[in-house]
Amino acid sequence: MLIQRAVLLDGTRTDIRVGEQITEVADGLAARPGETVYDAAGGAVLPGLHDHHLHLRAVAAALHSVRVGPAEVAGAPDLARVLAAARVDADGWIRAVGYHDAVAGPLDRHVLDALSPPAVPARVQHRSGVQWTVNSVGLARIGLAGHPDGRLRSADPSWSSTLLRSEPSLAEISAQLCGYGVTGVTDATPDLSAADVANLHRAHAAGELRQKLHCLAPGKRILHDDELDLEGLTEWVCDVHAAGRTVAVHCVTAAQLVITLEALRCAGGRPGDRVEHAAVVPDGTLSDLAAAGVTVVTQPNFVAERGDQYLADVPAAEHHELWRVASLRRAGVPVALSTDAPFGDADPWAAMRAAVHRRTPAGAILGAAECVSPAEALAMFLGAPTRPASARPVQPGAPGDLCVLSAPPADALADLDRGLVAATVISGELVFQRP
C-alpha cells in the first residue's frame, strides 16, 4: 500500500510505500496500479507501537471476568453483591480479577466462602497477578479440599493445570490493540509451555491475533520475597544463557531487584537480559542496573491507576523509588514501557501520559523527578521486541508496521491520546481505520 501526505516525527513530509517491509520513503510517490492508497492528510506516521509486556490469554479472559478492584467495589457487602451478580463462565467458575486488600481486607478461602454464592466455584485474582484466592467449592473441584487458606500462586502449575479452561479467543483484544496503534506484543506470561507458545503463534498465523508476537517464556521468572534463593536464581540464569536465550526477571520489590542484580553479576549478563517492572528501585541500585547492562521494562501507568494507594501504603521516604523512569535513563539504563495488561490498562497512550505527568487518580504528583517528555514516552513504545529500548525508524527495510495519527507530530505529542490513532498498518495491510 501507499501512504501519502505523511509527516514523520521529525517533521519530514513524505509518502511511504509499505508491504511486509517499508520499501520507499520519499515525497511525491505515485500510486501503482492496484495499490491501496491511504491519505494521511498531514498526520504523523510512526512505527507501530509495541507493548513490551502483557499477558495475552489473561487479557482475553479478563474481558469476560468481573472486576473487583478498589475502583469498582467498596467493602465486603459490595463485593458479595458483585460476586452474586457475576456471570458463571463456560467452565463453571466465577472468575474475578483486580482485587486489593483495600476492598474488603485480606482474602482467604473462608472469607471468600462467606462472600461468594454457595455451591459455585469462585476464584479471585489479586491485582498484582501473582496470587489467586479460591473458595472451598473451587478448591474441592481442583483436588485441594484440604488447603489451609485457598491462596494459590498464579505461576504454580500444580493447581492451575487442573483447571478445565476454554482458551479465550484473542480476536477481541487484538482488535482493541489495533485501535491503539499496537502492531506487536511481547507476552510475558512466565509459565507458558512450548505448546502454549505454539498455540499463540498459531493464533497469529490464523489471523486471530493480528499483532506480531514475541514471547519471554521460557526465559521469564517470577520471584517471591519468601523464596529468594541466590544460588538457585544464578543457576537458572546460567542455564537459560547456555540455551542461547536471554532472561527476564520479574522484580516488584527492592529485595527481588537486589538478588536479581547479584545473580546476573555472578552468572554474567547477556545482551537482551531484562528486568520486568522494577516497581521499586532504591537509589543505590541505579548504578548496579546500569553496570548489569539489563533493559528495564516498566509500567508507570500504575502511578495513574494505583498511585493514591501507594501514597497511603508506602512510606513517604520511599515514594521516589516507585516506578522510576527518568532517573533510570539518566543513569544509563535502557528503558522501555509496557502496560502489563490485564493487570494494568491495555491503553499504551494512557501509560505514556502517566510517564509524562505522574499524576495519581486523585491528582497528586507521585515522583515528579521521574517525569519524561512526551517524545521520550512515545519512543519507549517504539522499540523492537528484542531491543525494546531502541526506537524503530520509518525507513526502507524496516518492518511494514505503522501507526497513522490524525494530527501532526506536535499536536499528537501534546495530547498522547488513543483517539488520535487514525489507522494501523501491519505488514502493509490496513488492520484498523477510524470511521
Q: What CATH number does the domain containing 19 carry?
A: 2.30.40.10
Confidence of residue 330 (pLDDT cuts 50, 70, 90): very high
Q: Label residue 90 exposed, middle or buried (CB < 10 Å: 0-12, 13-18, 19+).
A: exposed
| Angle of the 230-242 helix axis to the 254-267 helix axis, nearest 10 | 50
Mean pLDDT of 249-256: 98
Q: What's the confidence (pLDDT) of residue 181? A: 98
Arithmetic mean of pLDDT, 92-97: 95
CATH number at residue 297: 3.20.20.140
The distance from CA 13 to its chain's CA centroid, rounded to whole angstroms, is 33
* Model confidence band, residue 276 (pLDDT cutoffs 50, 70, 90): very high
Claim to verify: residue 256 and residue 349 sit in the same structural domain: yes
Question: What integer pLDDT is reported at residue 162 of this predicted model?
Answer: 83
| Residue 157 pLDDT greater than 90, yes or no | no
pTM over 0.85: yes
Strands 429-433 and 66-67, bridge-based pairing = unpaired
User: Does 280 share its domain with 213?
Assistant: yes
Q: What confidence category does residue 368 fall into, taking pLDDT thresholds of 50, 70 and 90? A: very high
pLDDT digits (tens, 9 = 90+) for 135-150: 999 999 999 999 999 9
- Looking at residue 115, what is its pLDDT? 97
- Main-chain dihedrals φ then ψ at residue 286, nearest 5 degrees: -60, -50
pLDDT at 165 over 80: no
Residue 411 has a pLDDT of 98
The domain that holds 116 is classified in CATH as 3.10.310
Domain co-membership, 285 together with 344 = yes
Query: Is residue 394 very low, low, confident or very high in pLDDT (cuts 50, 70, 90)?
Result: very high
Mean pLDDT score of the chain = 96
Kindly state whether residues 83 and 213 are assigned to the same domain: no
**Claim to verify: residue 118 and residue 261 sit in the same structural domain:** no
pLDDT for the residue numbered 168: 84
Q: Are residues 378 and 432 in the same domain?
A: no
* Sign of torsion over alpha carbons 415, 358, 401, 204: negative
Does the pLDDT at position 215 exceed 90? yes
**108, 127, 160 — which closes off a domain?**
160
Q: What does the block give as the cell for 289?
A: 542496573
Residues 70 and 41 in one domain: no
Count of domains observed in the chain:
3
The pLDDT of residue 305 is 96
pLDDT at position 217 is 96
pLDDT of residue 191: 82
> Residue 371's domain spans which residues?
49-56+169-391
Mean of pLDDT values over 386-398: 98
pLDDT, residue 164, reads: 63
Same domain, 372 and 400: no
On whether both 280 and 383 belong to a single domain, the answer is: yes
